[in-house]
């Protein structure tokens, strides 16, 4: 077994120092002749589960009486720590930090964080242990009129309605939704000013879940995760759309220290066993692997019962650099990165003008994985591999056996003739 | 839908009890076009015969051509969608035995054809109505009625062909009918999506009403076929009057008790047949969305690649027929066909190579299999049991198609296309296994299945001496 087949669950911190690990996916660029071989090679190891981490969820509250709080996910490995800091101060945002020591800690200076100039209010100590850091900000909820399809080229999703700014949402107290057993917590919010009453019975929720080992969630799209990643599930429930065929979208801002935007990749796969009829995984990479990554399947769901009938396509626009001042301010991002960061934004849109949509049940959910380190490598399930192995191996055996039988018989036959 | 054609050559050659088109008693010379014994008149009849089957072949695959639309507008999952195919197959599990009997003893060929055409028309209309009133069960019922007519109509079509062309251009006629059937399927695959979008534009919105009207317009082809059935009945009646020609008979004799006498090679042929066809037709039924989702094809391109099996089959069937006739060695040809299909399904499952390659291979191997497999039955069954053997083969094939259609839909909904493809690979693999077994059994028993054409001639001569 060669080294590249090992499951790349080595933590970000150690991997940062190592050489760039080759990426083992399969797709149009992967040599197809090597395909089965590499699958057979990676699959059994993928099942072993890889590295586990000691994961803890902690709500860091400000001063007593203040509603603001941070959700700190700390994932400790043998020689690294990953920090995910989620916050609903301003727009929902997460800061991702990877360190190369199991002892790094998060330091929050609330008075600075809540001040107009929050630089330095959020730090990971010791500071020289930080190997990688980046952030994501969810700035706006977009809505389009899917019925008005006059100019498909210019506005493929229809005329946009004024977006909802997520900085002007009020969010619940994260402590109430914290579930230490499943390592999850939910930010649920609605606009502070809602003159039309669109969110009277509705809400937008960001459910964050961490994992202590690798695995696969029970619900589609069932992306494989490792202990290095956490899952974000965005759900829009019960809000009244402004049109009969409204399509929704999400504006996402990436923050990084490199001058260029993260690169987006569409990885095609032959395997849709875990998400029927979805043969693609979209990825956003902050730099050459291993670094920070986002990973999602281009599918959203219009019903709680996530099945093929309720699956919506999910499109992502190309990333474009954005100026910081044009975006809603996120105090934790400012606090951690000060002014040495680079912003890029892209839009995710869910659904198409035809087919199932939010209008069916006023429900929309989409999920993605965000993590640091190497991308989780998916493999074919043992059942499929088993069937293929039998289907490939048995005819060979049969032909061999049949050939032997015929050979023996032929011999007997010729002996019989010779007696005659 | 497909299996009937494959048997026609044998039934025609072996048990076809067509009346002889005598020339005696012709009252006076008629113009060529009106003279039933003249080639020009027979060409008109041939055209009608080809168009007779066009409607049912066109409508058989409408669900495949409109898969996305049916599932979206009727809000059904793939499992329920595939029931549309299953309901077509259910009546034919029984009707394969009864079709010939009904034509010979009950209705006669003319009324039989008209009645079966009516079933096809009514079935399609019910199918379309089901969509218009948004009742999926009605659509299923429509497919059931359509199924009652469809397969038996193909038998009737064969009987007409034998009755008019026996001893003349019969093989050419069968070839032309087969090509026409393929053209019907191909046109359907490539036209229905376009038709739907046109009707959608004129109605202003997509929905079950649009779907219903599209299916209704598709049903016009069935009306056309019904008109052909009426015209044929008139011409056949007229020919009987002028030429004193008997009504055509299928000559099929079905004796269910013969089944217990079927030999091991025959059972293996049945297994090959069922396992092979269940990996082809349900796949084509589900193929369009597969090509859209996995390979990023546009709906038009997906329809085109999905219909390529039929397109290839149209010209290749006669060519392969000739090849197998000239060379013999049927088991080897079947082995080649099944192995190629296995390869093609594996390509679709495990690579991202353009599906044109795999589908062309599938088209070639499917045509080759039809030419090599079906005639084998005649080598292992005495002639008086031939009708029963073919009836039984079609019956279990329909049973297999009905069951596997449902299972395929369920697999797709739960585990996706890769698993479905692996399932099809497993089916084809079972078929391959049976071919190898058949080869061994034939070899051990010194059977005649794998004789070359020359050897067959020699055997025939030695028998006659």
Kindly give the confidence (pLDDT) of every residue in chain A, 420 residues in length, as a single tens digit, with 9 standing for 90 and above.
333 333 333 333 333 333 333 332 223 333 343 344 444 444 444 343 457 899 999 998 877 767 778 999 999 998 899 999 999 888 999 999 999 999 999 999 988 988 888 998 999 988 899 999 999 999 999 998 877 554 445 566 778 899 999 999 999 888 888 998 899 999 999 999 888 888 999 999 999 999 988 888 888 888 999 999 999 999 999 999 988 888 999 999 999 888 889 999 998 888 888 888 899 999 999 888 778 999 999 999 999 888 888 888 999 999 999 877 778 888 999 999 987 788 999 999 998 877 788 988 899 999 999 999 888 888 888 888 888 888 777 767 877 887 787 788 776 655 555 444
User: To probe the interface with B, which of A277, A314, A355, A416 has the most B CB atoms within 10 Å?
Assistant: A277
CB-based burial of residue A63 (10 Å sphere; 0-12 exposed, 13-18 middle, 19+ buried)? exposed
Distance CA B347, CA A32 (A): 10
List CB contacts (< 8 A) between A356 and chain B: 72
Domain count, chain A: 1
* Contact at CB, B415 and A273, closer than 8 angstroms: yes
State whether B416 and A275 contact (CB < 8 Å).
yes
Do the Cβ atoms of A36 and B293 come within 8 Å?
no
How distant is the Cα of B463 from the closest Cα of chain A, in angstroms?
A: 24
Among candidate residues B200, B224, B251, the one where a domain is terminated? B251
Rounded Cα distance, B83 and B403, in Å: 9
Interface of A with B in 23-62 (CB under 8 A): 27-28, 32, 35-36
Range of the domain at B197: 37-251
CB-based contact A32 B429, cutoff 8 Å? no
Residues of A in contact with B67 (CB under 8 A): none
Same domain, B222 and B80: yes
Q: What phi, psi does B186 have (nearest 5°)?
A: -65, -50
Residues B236 and B322 in one domain: no
Domain that holds residue A71: 2-383
pLDDT higher than threshold 80 for residue B460: no
Q: What is the DSSP letter of B102?
A: I
Last residue of a domain, one of B251, B268, B303: B251
DSSP SS3 for B123: helix
Is the minimum CB–CB distance between B418 and chain A shorter than 8 Å?
Answer: yes
Asked if B201 has any chain A CB less than 8 Å from its own CB, the reply is no
What residues in A contact B433, CB-CB < 8 Å?
394-395, 398
Contact A272 B444 (CB under 8 A): no
Does some domain include residue A64? yes
| Residue B75 pLDDT class (50, 70, 90 cuts) | confident
Residue B21 has pLDDT above 70, yes or no: no
Q: What is the CATH number of the domain that holds B332?
A: 1.20.1250.20
- Where is the domain boundary, B208, B236, B251? B251
**In chain B, which residue's Cα lies nearest the Cα of A313?**
B293
My answer on whether B244 and B112 are in the same domain is yes
Is residue B77 in a domain? Answer: yes
Q: Cβ–Cβ of A398/B433 closer than 8 Å?
A: yes
User: Would you call B413 and A270 a contact, using CB atoms and an 8 Å cutoff?
Assistant: no
Judging contacts by C-beta atoms under 8 Å, the chain B residues touching residue A275 are 416
DSSP calls for A190-211: EES--TT-TTSS-EEEEEEEE-
User: For residue A95, is it within any domain?
Assistant: yes
C-alpha B275/C-alpha B341 separation (Å) is 12
Cβ separation of B436 and A384 shorter than 8 Å? no
Q: Are residues B290 and B415 in the same domain?
A: yes
Q: Is any Cβ of chain A less than 8 angstroms from the Cβ of B203?
A: no
pTM score > 0.95 for this model? no
Tell me the nearest-neighbour CA distance from B267 into chain A, angstroms.
19
Identify which of B77, B415, B419 has the shortest CB distance to residue A309. Answer: B77
Contact residues on chain A for B293, CB-CB shorter than 8 A = 272, 277-279
In a domain, B21, yes or no: no
Q: How far apart are CA A256 and CA A246, in angstroms?
A: 33
Q: Is residue A403 part of a domain?
A: no
One domain, residues B410 and B313:
yes
pLDDT number for residue A49: 41
In a domain, A141, yes or no: yes
Q: How far is B413 from chain A (nearest CA, A)?
A: 6
Of A27, A268, A406, the CB nearest to B443: A406
Q: Do A273 and B418 touch (CB under 8 A)?
A: yes
Check whether residue B112 and residue B142 sit in a common domain: yes
Cβ count near A403 (within 10 Å): 11
- Taking an 8 Å cut-off on Cβ atoms, the answer to whether A276 and B414 are in contact is yes
Question: Are B241 and B259 contained in the same domain?
Answer: no
Q: Are B221 and B117 in contact (CB under 8 A)?
A: no
Domain membership of residue A400 (yes or no) is no
What pLDDT, on a 0 to 100 scale, did the predictor assign at position A413?
59
Structural domain tally of chain B?
Answer: 2
Closest CA to B163 of B262, B74, B248: B248
Chain A residues with CB-CB distance to B415 below 8 A: 273, 276
């Amino acid at each position: 077994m060669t080294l590249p087949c090992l499951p790349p669950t080595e933590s970000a911190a150690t991997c940062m120092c190592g050489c760039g690990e080759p990426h083992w996916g399969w797709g149009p660029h992967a040599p197809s002749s090597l395909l089965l071989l590499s699958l057979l090679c990676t699959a059994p190891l993928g099942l072993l589960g890889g590295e586990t981490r000691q994961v803890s969820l902690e709500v860091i509250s400000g001063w007593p009486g203040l509603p603001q709080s941070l959700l700190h996910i700390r994932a400790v490995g043998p020689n690294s720590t990953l920090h995910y800091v989620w916050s609903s101060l301003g727009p929902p945002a997460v800061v991702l930090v990877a360190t190369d020591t199991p002892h790094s800690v998060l330091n929050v200076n609330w008075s600075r964080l809540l001040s107009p100039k929050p630089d330095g209010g959020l730090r990971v100590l010791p500071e020289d242990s930080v190997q990688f850091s980046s952030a994501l900000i969810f700035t706006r909820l977009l809505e389009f009129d899917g019925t008005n399809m006059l100019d498909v080229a210019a506005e493929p999703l229809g005329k946009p309605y004024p977006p909802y700014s997520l900085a002007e949402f009020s969010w619940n107290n994260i402590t109430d939704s914290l579930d230490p057993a499943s390592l999850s917590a939910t930010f649920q919010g609605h606009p502070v000013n809602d003159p039309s009453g669109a969110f009277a019975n509705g809400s937008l929720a960001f459910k964050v879940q961490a994992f202590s080992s690798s695995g696969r969630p029970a619900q589609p799209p069932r992306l494989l995760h490792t202990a290095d990643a956490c899952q974000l599930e965005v759900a829009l429930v019960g809000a009244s759309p402004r049109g009969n065929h409204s399509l929704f979208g999400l504006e996402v801002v990436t923050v990084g220290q490199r001058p260029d935007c993260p690169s987006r990749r569409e990885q095609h796969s032959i395997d849709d066993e875990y998400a029927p009829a979805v043969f693609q995984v979209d990825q956003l990479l902050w730099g050459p692997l291993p670094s920070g990554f986002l990973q999602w399947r281009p599918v959203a769901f219009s019903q709680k019962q996530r099945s093929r009938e309720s699956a919506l396509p999910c499109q992502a626009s190309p990333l474009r650099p954005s100026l910081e001042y044009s975006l809603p301010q996120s105090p934790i991002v400012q606090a951690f990165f000060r002014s040495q960061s680079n912003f890029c934004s892209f839009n995710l849109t869910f659904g198409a003008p035809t087919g199932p949509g939010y209008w069916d049940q006023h429900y929309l959910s989409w999920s993605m994985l965000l993590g640091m380190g190497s991308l989780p490598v998916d493999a074919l399930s043992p059942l499929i591999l088993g069937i293929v192995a039998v289907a490939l191996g048995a005819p060979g055996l049969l032909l061999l056996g049949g050939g032997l039988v015929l050979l023996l018989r032929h011999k007997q036959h010729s002996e019989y003739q010779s007696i005659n | 839908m497909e299996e009937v054609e494959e048997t026609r050559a044998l039934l025609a050659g072996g048990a076809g009890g067509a009346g002889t088109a005598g020339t005696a008693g012709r009252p006076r010379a008629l113009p060529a076009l009106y003279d039933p014994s003249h080639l020009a008149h027979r060409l008109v009849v041939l055209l009608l015969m080809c168009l007779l089957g066009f409607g049912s072949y066109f409508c058989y695959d409408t669900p495949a051509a409109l898969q996305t639309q049916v599932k979206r507008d009727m809000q059904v999952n793939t499992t329920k969608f595939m029931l549309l195919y299953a309901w077509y197959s259910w009546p034919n599990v029984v009707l394969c035995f009864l079709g010939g009997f009904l034509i010979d003893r009950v209705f006669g060929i003319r009324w039989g054809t008209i009645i079966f055409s009516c079933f096809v028309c009514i079935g399609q209309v019910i199918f379309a109505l089901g969509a218009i009133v948004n009742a999926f069960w009605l659509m299923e019922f429509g497919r059931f009625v359509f199924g009652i007519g469809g397969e038996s109509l193909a038998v009737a079509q064969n009987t007409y062909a034998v009755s008019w062309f026996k001893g003349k251009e019969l093989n050419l006629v069968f070839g032309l009918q087969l090509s026409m059937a393929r053209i019907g399927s191909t046109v359907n695959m490539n036209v229905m999506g376009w038709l739907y979008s046109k009707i959608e534009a004129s109605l202003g919105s997509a929905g079950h009403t649009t779907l219903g009207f599209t299916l209704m317009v598709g049903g016009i082809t069935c009306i056309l076929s019904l008109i052909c059935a009426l015209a044929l009945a008139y011409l056949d009646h007229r020919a009987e009057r002028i030429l004193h020609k008997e009504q055509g008979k299928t000559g099929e004799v079905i004796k269910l008790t013969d089944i217990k006498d079927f030999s091991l090679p025959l059972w293996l042929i049945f297994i090959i047949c069922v396992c092979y066809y269940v990996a082809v037709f349900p796949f084509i039924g589900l193929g369009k969305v597969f090509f859209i989702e996995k390979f990023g094809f546009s709906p038009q391109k997906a329809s085109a690649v999905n219909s390529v099996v039929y397109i290839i089959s149209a010209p290749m069937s006669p060519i392969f027929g000739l090849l197998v006739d000239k060379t013999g060695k049927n088991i080897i040809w079947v082995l080649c066909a099944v192995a190629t299909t296995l390869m093609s399904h594996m390509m679709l499952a495990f690579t991202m190579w353009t599906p044109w390659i795999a589908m062309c291979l599938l088209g070639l191997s499917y045509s080759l299999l039809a030419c090599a497999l079906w005639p084998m039955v005649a080598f292992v069954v005495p002639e008086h049991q031939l009708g029963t053997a073919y009836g039984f083969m079609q019956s279990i094939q329909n049973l297999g198609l009905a069951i596997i259609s449902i299972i395929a839909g369920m697999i797709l909904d739960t585990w996706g296309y890769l698993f479905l493809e692996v399932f099809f690979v497993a089916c084809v693999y079972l078929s391959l296994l049976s071919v190898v077994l058949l080869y061994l059994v034939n070899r051990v028993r010194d059977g005649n299945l794998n004789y070359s054409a020359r050897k067959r001639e020699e055997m025939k001569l030695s028998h006659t001496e």
